[in-house]
Amino acid sequence: MAQLTTEELQSIKDLQTRYNQTVFELGAAEAQAIQYFQRIETLNEGKKGLIADLKTIEQSEAELVKSLNEKYGVGNINIETGEITPLQ
> Does residue 19 belong to any structural domain of this protein?
yes
29 within domain boundaries: yes
Could you tell me what percentage of the chain is helix, strand and coil, using 3-state DSSP and rounding each to the nearest 5? 75, 5, 15
pLDDT of amino acid 87: 87
Domain span at residue 40 reads 8-54
Instruction: Report the amino acid identity of residue 19.
Output: Y
Please report whether residue 42 resides in a domain. Answer: yes
Length reported for the chain: 88
Q: What is the pLDDT of residues 24-76, one digit of tens each?
A: 999 999 999 999 999 999 999 999 999 999 999 999 999 999 999 999 999 99
pTM: 0.61
The answer to whether residue 32 is domain-embedded is yes
**E-assigned strand segments in the chain:** 75-77, 84-86
The letter for the amino acid at 5 is T
The Cα 30–Cα 33 span in angstroms is: 5
The rounded distance, in Å, linking the Cα atoms of 74 and 88 is 9
**Position 39 in a domain:** yes
Q: Total structural domains in the chain? A: 1
The answer to whether residue 34 is domain-embedded is yes
pLDDT of residue 88: 76
